[in-house]
Structure 1
Amino acid sequence: MTTTDHNNGSVLDVEIGALQGGSAELAQYAGKTVLIVNVASKCGLTPQYSGLERLQERFAGQGFTVLGVPCNQFLGQEPGTAEEIAEFCSATYGVTFPLTEKAEVNGEGRHPLYERLVGFADGEGHTGDIRWNFEKFLIGPDGQVVARFSPQTEPESAEIVAAVEGLLG
């Protein structure tokens, strides 16, 4: 885990829509630990949905949630409509964690949520643009980024589980 001076501010005041209408209201996660992940349905890493759901089930009762952010910026691997994405996640992986609207994580159209996230370094020192689907950001109860994990880091890796447990007390 890498720390930062947290000058990017809390992610809790960023507005983003929910996958199937309305708002995901990040403010509702104040006091909770959140793992934000840009997700895609047609990626080699898509099976990580299973690990993300197991993390959700394991820690949800302790003030934790996964928040999936569908993104179609990497080889068009999330082409579906909101309904198609929701159906795929539910039917294929039994996903119960919340999903936001589809969002851009890089470039001129980068969502404000990712503007707050990309300045944080992962364990190898990478900052800046999201490298691929399933890049993960761990947000503390105060809304600050506390860790960034590469797309290849499995959701149930010792590194992620220890970081989550450390924030849950």
Structure 2
Amino acid sequence: MKWITHLEGGPKRVNHAAVIVGHKIYTFGGYCTGENSREYTSMDVHVLNTITFRWMKHPISDLNYYENDDILPFKRYGHTAVVYKDKVYIWGGRNDRSSCSNLFCFNTTWHCWTATKTSGDIPLARDGHTAVVWKNYMYIFGGFEEESDSFTNAVFSLNLETMRWTYIQTTGKIHAYIID
């Protein structure tokens, strides 16, 4: 497999989250050396148009977090992003000050953020977890919980229609595989 093009102008990040919606790849946040990750500025959003192969920093990235702290996610890394309908849901992650357990929604039609209220068995704030969507549910697994200062194997689901979290009781033996 070979690269077919060299793209300029994209974000230089690690531990970011990325999703594809239509012909665009959206990347959210991530850690970048040299940036002050203690600041509570809003999360940056970059978009790759897979038709033109051009990156764009989304203008919503330049909004001031303090002026909009109820609707904008702060800059973070180790979070997850999933797509449901025309919306991207961002959950978890941390910056160098704290981790997050709030759910944020980025509307790819209207290009705006909302902080989505949830109920039920809300998971503890964490980073380094994974998330997937199946039908109308987002499932999260694992990660590092700041409050307990430990890694977890917990599974939670969020019904994306009702915004209600449920803890999923798992059973069975945990297997660790080593791949050479």
Q: What TM-score do the two structures reach when normalised by structure 1?
A: 0.26
Q: What TM-score do the two structures reach when normalised by structure 2?
A: 0.25
Give the structure with the higher percent strand.
2
Structure number with greater Rg is 2
Give the structure with the higher percent helix.
1
